[in-house]
Amino acid sequence: MRRLAPSARARKERPLSRPRERQGERPIDKERLAGSPSWRDDGFGARVLTHATRKGDFMADKPSYLGLLNAIAVAESRAHTYLCAWADVTTSDDVRAVLRKVAAREGEHAMTFARRINELGYDVRRKDHEDTDEKIALVTSDCSDLEKMEALKLHRLDRGDKPDIFDDFFTDHSIDIATGELLGRYIAEERDTARLLRRCYEQLKEQSTSDRPSPA
């Protein structure tokens, strides 16, 4: 076995040195790099942009569609409340059946979207100036079912083949898969509900016309 000369052995055993920084190049700030924004899975199908805080925990940026989800949850909860109150006082079995079916959908939508908001790390926010009490007073009044439907404009929800309020929901391309699935079913059920209410209105209108006394 050939023995290395002392100078060669020293060169071989010398520890590797760190590469020198180029002239004019700033050193890498590892602390700043650790706090850079990054994408992570929220566990429910969404990709959430997060960045580390000074304490080491992560804070997520709000999804751009969070306001839409909140508005749906609040509106559906309100509709469920006054539709149930209406169903309790109507004297028509047919109207009651329609109202209970629609109310069940609205209640499910309210809870489903509230759950999704919670999964994303937030809570439903309600406004102080909600008009739920006014609508309950209307639907429990002595007005006819036809008058109540016209006052709430429920017969105008069905747009047929014309554009409606749901057409722009998916213009936000950042909507995650889980939220997109909820929105898709919600839109389909809301459009079906609009058709159901329109048919109910038309029947009430026809019945109202037939009940009028004919001119002498």
Q: Is the confidence at residue 22, as pLDDT, over 50?
A: yes
66-159+173-211: what fold? Ferritin (1.20.1260)
Residue 74 has, within 13 A of its CA and on its CB side, a CA count of 16
The model's confidence at residue 80, banded by pLDDT at 50, 70 and 90, is very high
Locate the domains of the chain by residue range.
66-159+173-211
The model's confidence at residue 54, banded by pLDDT at 50, 70 and 90, is very low
pLDDT per position as a tens digit, 115-129 = 999 999 999 998 766
Q: Is the confidence at residue 78, as pLDDT, over 80?
A: yes
CA–CA separation, 204 and 216 (whole Å): 24
pLDDT per position as a tens digit, 90-109 = 999 999 999 999 999 999 99
pTM above 0.75? Answer: no
Q: Is the confidence at residue 57, as pLDDT, over 50?
A: no
Sequence-distant contacts of 202-207: CB under 8 A, at least 24 apart: 202/155, 203/94, 204/95, 204/144, 204/145, 204/146, 204/149, 205/146
